[in-house]
A and B are shown apart, each in its own frame.
Chain A
């Protein structure tokens, strides 16, 4: 069946292979030789990948006439790891609408970020290292989206986490960056434990099912998505005996799977690493912590959707967590002073939007899944643009504190225009992309029977417009409030051009019929704009703009008065509800003081002490033969030799006797 595929569909593995090759080349050879060449090669490799990614998408879309669903193909796979029969792990490329969509997003944003970084990172001592790791990240992220089984996904999942760690800590001599990188890694690692346990649990359960099915299981392996999505397998999994607390392995496994996804996508209460991750270079924030890696959790839920939909109540958890995170993060975003931190909380909130869309599918209509993927698609472009815009500001003014900036629109007209476009897009203003995808998310909530979630979603839409307009006005309007922001200059062309490309995508992405392509069978078809949803959403956004304009557009004294009136609530929001402090307390006091320190003490004093006690006892007994302990190595060697000879002699004698 594979012979009639076009070359790129057949060889889609080349798309991740290029950045991997470039990683090895740049990391091992070019980095020490010539940093500029290293950067150029890294960027060229990913740009080529992006070209192939677009070619793949166009060829793949040829497969179906409009009425038919697009096929799911695995044109290439090889055995990678054989646990045992039935539990073989292949490395391969799974092509379906969702993965092809993500390939386009990842390669495009990554290529633009690479080009942008050529200028942004100029003169950094770790220039070559930066591009090598960025290549590694791109490879890993592509491997993740193309994974045909849970283990390949996990492997790449960990690799994107490690690349993220090394990039957040890129400036390794800054203690804040080092701390942020460790925090990001450990918090996501903790969530990954959930994913690991999910793999163990589901792998074992699916392996049992596979054994029951016998011959009809065919060559499919227990952890393949193709196998886990089969109707007979899902039915068998759902009827297994409960493993813990009345939950089947399926339900528990899906919950743990979601824990993994929630960690990567920084859902409450595992969100604490993402704002700190802004310590990394800004292009990294754009690529990894806005457009691609952080959506991996959303993608995981979308990929394993048949499993989650078959498990009792898991989607409700997804819905609750997503909705809460969307609101919680948007509210905090209104109070932060650092431009990148505001964008980070905005990312959290938008990821919450995607999760809540996935969670609305509990009623059986998978429209929310399509909406989530659509929002993922548009968000990648406008949020990457916002970050690259913020990067241009940082590059020029060397500060991200919005109270130190101001009046940049005159000095940086291009950046200003692009940032404004992205602000309108994320706020959901017609005809920019955010309008369409947000509309679908909210429609899924409303039509999925979750009016409360819909109401919260509208509120979040208003807050989104508010915090974006707030930073936009403070950064670009008014007068420069500090010396630094008075002498800024427009970003170089290598930075503006990638931003321009993203702006085009952020403007038109809403017209791409993504949700029709990625729709699962059984999705209700709804054409056109749902004004019942879009009307209130647009009104909410305009209200947010209005409020921000009134508070921050003219006399800033109004905002001070508003802050004073909010009182305690404002303090709590500004301190992010002290959740970071809580984690730190648990880590320091509980893990280090109450567990690790006592264990270290116990080991030295009790376990080792006992051994020494036994040793002392022996030594007292051995005082009689102390004379032999001359302390000379030669003497010991002589004794050892004598003893050896004695054993040989005895054995020889025994041999003679026997």
Chain B
């Protein structure tokens, strides 16, 4: 057979598609035609290495073609056109808000905001997904996901020191009865593998995994979602990087091998049975730790001008990105290899883990080498950044790539995607009255996988390494209460035990609401994240957020419609809360064929990761009840509807309405509450989210070892609200507060005119007694409630 590359420029569309499949590039017809046109223009045939480089550079993973592409959205008879959906929603909010404390947004590997008082530090934050690899090999997929996002932080600016890892997972229900297709793993196995992968990588590299979430829905049976995030500290004078022509290209960390071929293109294709074995790797945390230690020392000594991580696309992307203006001259024979059975073009695109690329002035190489050797970290000098704008890659005498950088980064064509509003039937009547008692429902709800304790996962992570996790994921009297946000005091980066500046990190996530109303889902998700930050006493006016969208195939107009609505919601919420997006990521094609051969898509899944400064970490508060006799307040108005609630998942609710969120009212109330928290008159705060008010009260009670006498008559509520909706509804912008009893008057001054009502007091007797205007709703022993809640998930 003739090598199709030798007459590439004259291949038919069908032949191109076939070649694309064989090589696993995942380029579409339009893109293939564009490549063909370019090489016709150059009057020569491409090499394999050049096509691989283009496929990697233009992949969904690297270019985010769907989200940053043109979209036509049809809603009823109206059509709205976007040229670049991402820029016109998410980026637009950030640009309009134009916050001074945003130091770097959307340009680098992570977003950076100001940290601390004296302008010395920046906080870099980034979240990623690693879904497809985790479906295929959960342990290795999770490990390399964590490793990848840590390298994003190491590669932002001139390198930030990671001080926190985050993890959010979505799995199918562990007891799901749905038949799985051949070759797919049970949700139990996926969860176990993913948790062990995050554990083994995060623990070994010494970064606390202290914030995250776990969500179950059968929509994730075949396509689990694994979001991994990392936050790090960077000196503000180390944010700018610039490759200087003449600099050496130095690769440090792991070696290059065949194990990393074809990951970038892999994330664009639906998972098929014959997924190639080499697409999944096992992580090498120890190598990454060496890299981290070297980078931090070399950064502070100013031994390199620029750095970036080797992620999707390997050398080709990392060097291509660093050298996008200067060009690069690379000699692949100088690469450190895992084994010699590897083609030169494979070295160029291999995604072997734990590698970073540095741009090193020749005069500083010796000093850098001394540090590398001292830390037993391997490295190789691959070539130079010449300054001529040309990418020239060779292996001995063989030319692997010879292309202008401009083509690589500018050429990708894009086409308009169709989007349409999904039709969902809303049932807005009074909910059906359940046969069970409210106490019985609460007990069942506390044991629901989306509500119950996460300790069996969290305790496997070293969430306190570096000694700075001052508000922990597990807190309270028994060290097992579910925290709203983690607060990090980065002493391992600042080296200053007298500086009490810290930051809070949390998440919002609500795909159940997204199935009904993607726009409101986005608002609720941002609201939840901001509210969680408020609960620990973080400076919410300085909230910065990350968006991570996971969706099914963008070829389905309804999937695109969900995305458009959620992106608009993101914009509106960011504006209302004054919370700019600083970085984001998206992952599409999260759908597979089920056992019957039918398409099985995930629900639209938007993870909002949020961070805000904590001025004095000593004053941050936890969620558990602290002292008998203290009054308890409910802030926020409870609204009608059980749409998207855990109750709706457990029972036949007869109502799937989602109340719209009044963001202005929420911001006004949160601002007042933060003042109250900062003056010290609030000693515990906990948000009302999954499971509703009853779950919030139960958690505060059993985490503190106190009961409470509650009468909800003073609780702000919408007219016609049923007791069921009051207890288990999940309408947004509500939280429960415990107020220090002799500072109640002061507290009331802060919340004057706001929907904040006293609903009872903390009680020594370990009973949660909840009434509404003289009617007892339930009365349960807090330890019995805790027993229901404290399930071992794995």
User: Do A and B come together as binding partners?
Assistant: no
Residues of A whose CB lies within 8 Å of any CB of B are: none
Residues of B whose CB lies within 8 Å of any CB of A are: none
